């Protein structure tokens, strides 16, 4: 084979890999994490063997499909934990996680699901969650976060965030920001009404 043919084969393989990742993200978002590899292969128009050549298992595919979003989440929680004031750190985290989740429903679903066998994905998620628990502990200790808050309330807020629909991704993010501000208000121990991000025109509006 000429060098050109080799390069072109490599480039095909790279294209396949990226296509499988994109298809997997869309499939997980639309149909949940149970979509089988063969269905992902079918939608990506490649053979099942090609998928396995790039990803040793469905778990590896899931982990790689959401590697970037998971890294963003970890960074957000680390930043929140590093904030001088735990309440500010907590607010940063709620806003940040909601923004990442608003842009990618597949990831939102993966992040809030039991994915027992995706070892690397779960390990990083759990590391991030442990930091989140620590931040919650500090924000409660500072008297800023309500005493009956539980970390599941973030899960509740993130799942709820998934339900928000709007006409465009930009409106989706704007609606999500207002929603995050409302949730933060509700989490505060001694709430002081703060200005909200502007309301977004949503499907159900003035008749």
Residue ranges in contact with a copy of itself by CB under 8 A: 111-114, 125-126, 129-130, 133, 146, 148, 150-156, 158-165, 175, 178-179, 182-183, 185-191, 193, 195-196, 199-207
Which residue's CB is nearer to a copy of itself, number 56 or number 114?
Answer: 114
Both tokens of 77, joined, read: 């929680």
**CA-to-CA separations, 180 to 31, 33, 72, 102, in angstroms, rounded:** 25, 26, 17, 11
Torsions phi, psi of 34, nearest 5? -85, -5
* Closest distance of CB 55 from a copy of itself, Å: 24
Closest CA to 145 of 186, 95, 185, 188: 188
Which residue's CB is nearer to a copy of itself, number 57 or number 131?
Answer: 131
Under 8 Å between Cβ of 164 and 176:
yes
Which residue's CB is nearer to a copy of itself, number 56 or number 206?
Answer: 206
Tell the burial category of 171 from Cβ atoms under 10 Å away from its Cβ (0-12, 13-18, 19+): middle
* Closest distance of CB 172 from a copy of itself, Å: 11
* Closest distance of CB 151 from a copy of itself, Å: 7
Tell the burial category of 126 from Cβ atoms under 10 Å away from its Cβ (0-12, 13-18, 19+): exposed
Which residue's CB is nearer to a copy of itself, number 41 or number 115?
Answer: 115
Both tokens of 139, joined, read: 């924000």
* Closest distance of CB 179 from a copy of itself, Å: 6
Which residue's CB is nearer to a copy of itself, number 125 or number 140?
Answer: 125
* Closest distance of CB 10 from a copy of itself, Å: 39
């Amino acid at each position: 084979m000429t060098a050109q043919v080799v390069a072109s084969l490599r480039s095909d393989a790279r294209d396949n890999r990226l296509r499988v990742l994109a298809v997997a993200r869309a499939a997980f978002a639309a149909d949940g994490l149970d979509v089988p590899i063969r269905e992902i292969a079918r939608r990506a128009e490649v053979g099942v063997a090609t998928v396995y050549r790039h990803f040793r298992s469905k778990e590896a595919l899931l982990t790689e499909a959401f590697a970037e979003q998971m890294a963003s989440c970890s960074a957000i929680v680390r930043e929140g934990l590093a904030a001088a004031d735990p309440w500010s750190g907590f607010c940063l985290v709620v806003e940040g996680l909601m923004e990442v989740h608003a842009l990618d429903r597949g990831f939102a679903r993966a992040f809030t699901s039991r994915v027992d066998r995706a070892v690397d994905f779960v390990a990083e998620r759990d590391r991030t969650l442990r930091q989140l628990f620590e931040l919650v502990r500090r924000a409660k200790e500072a008297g800023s976060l309500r005493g009956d808050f539980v970390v599941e309330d973030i899960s509740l807020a993130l799942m709820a965030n998934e339900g928000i629909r709007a006409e465009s991704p930009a409106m989706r993010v704007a609606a999500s920001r207002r929603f995050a501000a409302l949730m933060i208000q509700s989490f505060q121990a001694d709430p002081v009404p703060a200005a909200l991000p502007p309301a977004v025109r949503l499907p159900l509006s003035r008749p």
